[in-house]
Structure formats: structure tokens, C-alpha cells
């Protein structure tokens, strides 16, 4: 992580005309900045975060080599992988990762970890190797100490581990990793608007529902819905309505539960997600006929 960090700080400081004393103010001593720039000291995570805020750059700038050309190319790869993730096309993800693993531009730092995160998904979803996938996921983290994690990728990786743990029936472990992801959010106010926060809320709601903790699960759904509304973003909006309705039904509140499922159906109709529409209509019909939740 710390290779060339001091050089990058010195370069940014000179580009912005900032003195060492000004940069150090409310962060550390001027002599500490001098030692970091000369490669004699390593900045702590907290210090690096404060420095990144002062320069108004993403903290990931300090994690690997940075250039506009490389970043543009990496953004194109990210967009392809994000689309494949949305479609759950893990064969395509594996193809992209195998191809880009030979690309020297993506062999270090944050970009390499981002590719490895997707490689781990294919190990689990295509090759059914849960232990191997979790091991790869752990290699993607920015620090071996989970209490020192600070990046959006860290949250994504912990969320992925939580999903696997839930799928494998290891519910308490799933909660552990998902709650670790939320602790990153508490330290990183800049992540509050990212969709990953809603993903973590949603997966926590499902795990707590599996554990029979329906009120706790409903609380995460309500937090997720509040973010959807505040950000004016429909991402997971229908899913939170469905999950909240399910919890209310399991708590015995049939009227409110069916009302939320009705809202789910309306949202999905507007989104024109026909497969999901068939699913929710089937769930509503089954509950009305049997009083049971699948």
C-alpha cells in the first residue's frame, strides 16, 4: 500500500501550491509530513484519509499508480463487470477477469484487488468452492485487520463474504461480516450515498429474517427505504418493500404485510421486471390461499 505514497503526497502538494505546514495543520506535525514525503515514515490510515480530504482526492489515489489513461481504461473494465454482475452473468465475469489478468495496467494495487474480487465470485458461483472464494475475498481487503478497513471495495468484499456465509447456512458469520462492512460506513461519511450501503442493509435484513429476528430485519429494510427516498434512487426499492412486507407477515401483521407486497408489485410493474412480477404475484396468491410464506 505505502509504495510511493510519500512521492504522491509531495507531488499533489506541489501541484496545489500547498506548504508542508498547511498540509500538516490539524493532521500531524510538519516534520512528520516531511518524513512521509521522504519515505522515512508510513502514514496511518487515519492520517492518509485526512490528507486525501485536504487534497480533495479519493483515498484510492494513494493505493496504486495513477494516470488519466489508465483510470479511463479501468473505468471501462469496471462498467463491463458491473453490467455482468447485474445480469448475474458469472461466465462473462470469468472471461473478463481472465483476459484482464494479463493486462499489466491492472496488476497492482486497487485495480488488481478489484479484479480478484470478481474472480472470487466466479469461484463460488461457477465452481461451487465456498472456502476458496472466501480466501480470495480476504486477499482483496486493504488490511488484514478488519477493524482498519476503510474503502468502498472493502465494503463490497465483506458484503460478498456475508452473502456466501448466508447461502452456506452460516448465519452468525454472515452477520459478523456484514456488520463489519457497516462499521466502515461509520468511519467513511463519503460512502453514505453509495449503493453498497443499501446492499449491506438488504443482506442484513435477509440474514436476520433467516434467524427469526423479524423486527431487526424490518429495521434494516426501513433504513434502506429511507436511503432510496433521500437519494431519489430506485435501486433495491422494490426489494426492500418485499422484504419488509415479508417480515410484517411473519410478525403477524397481515394487513400491513400485504400492503407492502402490493406496493412491491406496483413498483416492479413500473420497472417492467416481468420475472420478478411473476414471483411476487405467485407469493401473494400462495399466501392468500394457504396463509404460508415460502
CATH number of domain containing 157: 1.25.40.10
The count of structural domains within the chain is: 3
Residues 186 and 279 in one domain: yes
* 209 or 8, greater pLDDT: 209
Q: What angle do CA 52, 56, 58 make, to 5 degrees?
A: 60
State whether 15 and 80 are in the same domain: no
Do 93 and 171 lie in one domain? The reply is: no
| Measured distance CA(258)–CA(260) in Å, rounded | 5
Q: What tens digit of pLDDT does each residue of 228-253 get?
A: 999 999 999 999 999 999 999 999 99
Residue the block writes with cell 519515505? 39
User: What is the predicted pLDDT for the residue at 202?
Assistant: 98
Q: Are residue 175 and residue 251 in the same domain, yes or no?
A: yes
Among residues 62, 83, 111, which one ends one of the domains? 62
In the predicted structure, residue 64 carries a pLDDT above the cut 60? no
115: cell is 479484479
Q: Are 232 and 111 in a shared domain?
A: no
Domain that holds residue 47: 4-62
Tell me what pLDDT residue 65 has.
52
Average pLDDT of span 44-53: 81
pLDDT bin (cut points 50, 70, 90) of residue 102 is confident
pLDDT per residue as tens digits for the range 128-168: 999 999 999 999 998 888 988 888 899 999 999 999 999 99
pLDDT in tens, 65-80: 544 456 677 888 899 9
| 264 within some domain | yes
pLDDT at 1 over 50: no
3-class SS letters over the chain:
CCCCHHHHHHHHHHHHCCCHHHHHCCCCCHHHHHHHHCCCCCCCHHHHHHHHHHHCCCHHHHCCCCCHHHHHHHHHHHHHHHHHHHCCCHHHHHHHHHHHCCCHHHCCHHHHHHHHHHHHHHHHHCCCCHHHHHHHHHHCCCCCCHHHCCCHHHHHHHHHHHHHHHHCCCHHHHHHHHHHHHHHHHHCHHHCCCHHHHHHHHHHHHHHHHCCCHHHHHHHHHHHHHHHHHHCCCCCHHHHHHHHHHHHHHCCCHHHHHHHHHHHHHHHHHHCCHHHHHHHHHHHHHHHHHCCCC
- What pLDDT score was predicted for residue 241? 98
Please give the pLDDT value at position 66.
46
Residue 275 lies in a domain: yes
Closest CA relative to residue 178, chosen from 144, 210, 205, 151: 205
pTM confidence score: 0.77
C-alpha cell at 205: 435484513
Q: Let me know whether 25 and 109 are in one domain.
A: no
Q: Is the pLDDT of residue 206 over 70?
A: yes
Residue 67 forms part of a structural domain: no
- Both 122 and 198 in one domain: the answer is no
Examine the domain organization and report whether 261 and 173 are in the same domain. Answer: yes
Residues 128 and 148 in one domain: no
Distance, CA of 180 to CA of 171 (rounded, Å): 14
Band the pLDDT of 91: cuts 50, 70, 90.
very high
Least confidently predicted of 70-74, 89-93, 186-190 = 70-74
pLDDT band at 47 (very low <50, low <70, confident <90, very high): confident
Domain identity same for 161 and 286? yes
The CATH number of residue 37's host domain is: 1.10.260.40
The region of weakest confidence among 12-16, 41-45, 135-139, 219-223 is 41-45
Amino acid at each position: 500500500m505505502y509504495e510511493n505514497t510519500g512521492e504522491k503526497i509531495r507531488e499533489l502538494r506541489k501541484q496545489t501550491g500547498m506548504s508542508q505546514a498547511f498540509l500538516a495543520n490539524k493532521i500531524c506535525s510538519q516534520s512528520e509530513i516531511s518524513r512521509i514525503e521522504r519515505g522515512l515514515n508510513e502514514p496511518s490510515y487515519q492520517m492518509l484519509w485526512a490528507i486525501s480530504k485536504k487534497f480533495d482526492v479519493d483515498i484510492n489515489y494513494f493505493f496504486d499508480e495513477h494516470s488519466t489513461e489508465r483510470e479511463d481504461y479501468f473505468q471501462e473494465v469496471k462498467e463491463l463487470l458491473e453490467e455482468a454482475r447485474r445480469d448475474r452473468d458469472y461466465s462473462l465475469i470469468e472471461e473478463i477477469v481472465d483476459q484482464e489478468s494479463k493486462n499489466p495496467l491492472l496488476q497492482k494495487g486497487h485495480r488488481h484487488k478489484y479484479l480478484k474480487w470478481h474472480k472470487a465470485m466466479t469461484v463460488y458461483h461457477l465452481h461451487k468452492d465456498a472456502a476458496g472464494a472466501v480466501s480470495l475475498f480476504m486477499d482483496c481487503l486493504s488490511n488484514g485487520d478488519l477493524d482498519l478497513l476503510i474503502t468502498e471495495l472493502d465494503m463490497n468484499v465483506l458484503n460478498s463474504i456475508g452473502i456466501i456465509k448466508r447461502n452456506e447456512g452460516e448465519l452468525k458469520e454472515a452477520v459478523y461480516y456484514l456488520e463489519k462492512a457497516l462499521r466502515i460506513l461509520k468511519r467513511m461519511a463519503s460512502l453514505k450515498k453509495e449503493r453498497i450501503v443499501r446492499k449491506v442493509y438488504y443482506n442484513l435484513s435477509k440474514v436476520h429474517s433467516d434467524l427469526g429476528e423479524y423486527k431487526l430485519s424490518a429495521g434494516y429494510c426501513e433504513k434502506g427505504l429511507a436511503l432510496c427516498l433521500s437519494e431519489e434512487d430506485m435501486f433495491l426499492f422494490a426489494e426492500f418493500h418485499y422484504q419488509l412486507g415479508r417480515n410484517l407477515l411473519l410478525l403477524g401483521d397481515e394487513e400491513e404485510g400485504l400492503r407492502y407486497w402490493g406496493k412491491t408489485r406496483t413498483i416492479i410493474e413500473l420497472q417492467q421486471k416481468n420475472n420478478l412480477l411473476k414471483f411476487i404475484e405467485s407469493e401473494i396468491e400462495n399466501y392468500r390461499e394457504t396463509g404460508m410464506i415460502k
